[in-house]
Amino acid sequence: MPTYAVRAPLVRWLADEARRAHADLGPYRLLDVGCGEKPYSSLFAPYVISYVGVDAIENPVAELRGPIEGLPVEDGSFDVVLCAQVLEHVDDPAEGVRELHRVTAPGGRVLLSTHGTMVYHPNPVDLWRWTHAGLERLFERNGAWASVRVSPGSGSTACIAMLTSIYLEHVFRRAHVGRLARPFVSALNRSAAAIDRRSALLREPRPGTIAANYHVVAEKPA
Question: Mind listing the pLDDT tens digit for each residue in 22-41?
Answer: 999 999 999 999 999 999 99
The pLDDT of residue 66 is above 90: yes
- Average pLDDT of the residues in 98-123: 97
Beta-strand ranges (E) seen in the chain are 28-33, 48-55, 64-65, 78-84, 104-115, 147-152, 213-219
Q: What pLDDT score does 4 carry?
A: 87
Q: What is the dihedral of CA 63, 222, 143, 58, to 10 degrees?
A: 0
Per the CB < 8 A criterion, the answer to whether 77 and 29 are in contact is yes
Query: Greater confidence, 176 or 10?
Result: 10
Query: 214: which DSSP letter?
Result: E
Arithmetic mean of pLDDT over the chain = 96
- CB count in 10 Å sphere of residue 85: 20
- Average pLDDT of the residues in 11-17: 98
The pLDDT of residue 109 is above 90: yes
The CATH classification number of 4-155+206-219 equals 3.40.50.150
Q: What pLDDT score does 1 carry?
A: 82
d(CA 157, CA 154): 8
Q: Where are the domains of the chain?
A: 4-155+206-219, 156-203
Q: What pLDDT score does 184 carry?
A: 87
